[in-house]
Amino acid sequence: MTGASSKERHAPAEISVEDIARAVGGTVVGDAATRIRGIASLEDAGDGMISFYADRRYEECLSGTKASALLVREKTGLFAGPQVVVSNPQLAYARVSGLFASPVPRYGEGRDRAVVHESCRIGRDVSIYPFVYIGKDAVIGDGTILFPGTFVGDRVRIGAGTVIYPNVTILQDCRIGDHVVIHAGTVIGSDGFGFVRDGDELVKIPHLGRVRIDDHVEIGAGNCIDRAALGETWIKAGVKTDNLVHLAHNVVVGEGTLVVALTGISGSVRIGRRVVIGGQVGISDHVEIGDGVMIGSQSGIAKSLSPGEVVSGSPSMPHRLWLKTSGLIKRLPGFNDRLRRIEKKIQDIEKRLDRAGRE
């Protein structure tokens, strides 16, 4: 069998406001039987669609929306249709979007034009698209989907319910958990950047470790996650990385951490739980980042951070101090001119006092 699977599920065509409220733990104000077929922003929503409102800055959009229902934190008089009252409209939006999202497409039950080593162990209901390569002694868990161009090296283990999008490379001995999503073009298990100078020659340090990615991790497109020199580069459960993130050898990322695009994390960095790392952040090697730290975009982290710190800037400093500092930067030329004028006046006063003293 080739092509899309006959077992493929589809998103519901319509769902009632009552069912939506039940799914998000909300309370309906208005007609709970109203049928909803999709979700959109206040500006783009039309008849049969639900939107969400959580910020007073969008009152004008709210008054003009054509949505049939609304997710809100508290009932609003600016909307006449049914409203689902929830404690967190953004979270409810995420869950409702999931109700209408189409499932990941599956290729079917065959292995047409894929190269699968005879020693592999393939679980039940695994979808292997054409042009997938799976090396010897690899293990693929039940329900996993491998899109075209995926390379799975020797002895790799991939858990159940995982989705590997096109052109992902997972090199030998790496471990991928259950319900992981790895987006297109990511490389997992490439050699770390390690060399020792011998005169004019740079001698490569072989990287003999692996990458371990735990359950419910999502890796963005174009990530590069290096294998450990020895031991593991370890991405713990629930971590989410954006596109174009680099994690060097022996990095450990704690549970529930978010890493935004274009961030580079140097070797042997240890990152705690529920850390938020903004875009274009650079972290020096062997630094430790404590639990709950928040790092602003474009920050440079050269030393360890204690749990709960909120920092920005390069070199990094407490976030509020950075806001004050960055606000002064554009005023520095004026401050410099004023300082020079003050210095000149002081010099003139000193000269006059010196002449008066001699007289």
Asked whether residue 153 falls in the same domain as residue 270, the answer is: yes
- Specify whether 207 is catalytic: no
Asked whether residue 157 falls in the same domain as residue 76, the answer is: no
Count of structural domains within the chain: 2
Task: Name the active-site residue from 117, 249, 286, 319.
Answer: 249
Asked whether residue 141 falls in the same domain as residue 263, the answer is: yes
Rounded mean pLDDT of 199-226?
98
- Checking if the pLDDT of 1 tops 50, the result is no
Give the largest Cα separation in the chain, rounded.
110
Q: What is the pTM of this model?
A: 0.88
Asked whether residue 25 falls in the same domain as residue 62, the answer is: yes
What's the pLDDT tens digit per position in 36-60?
A: 999 999 999 999 999 999 888 889 9
Is residue 342, in this structure, part of any structural domain at all? no
- Checking if the pLDDT of 247 tops 90, the result is yes
Asked whether residue 59 falls in the same domain as residue 125, the answer is: no
Rounded mean pLDDT of 10-30?
92
**CA pair distance 89, 86, nearest whole angstrom:** 6
Is residue 339, in this structure, part of any structural domain at all? no
Residue range(s) defining the domain that contains residue 190: 115-320
- Checking if the pLDDT of 111 tops 90, the result is no
- Sequence-distant (≥ 6) Cβ neighbours of residue 208 within 8 angstroms: 228, 229, 230
Is the separation of the CB atoms in 39 and 67 below 8 Å?
Answer: no
What's the pLDDT tens digit per position in 146-194?
A: 999 999 999 999 999 999 999 999 999 999 999 999 999 999 999 999 9
- Checking if the pLDDT of 8 tops 90, the result is no
Asked whether residue 33 falls in the same domain as residue 158, the answer is: no
pLDDT value at position 10? 66
pLDDT value at position 70? 97
Asked whether residue 168 falls in the same domain as residue 278, the answer is: yes
Rounded mean pLDDT of 272-277?
98
Please report which residue ranges of 66-131 form alpha helices under DSSP H.
89-100
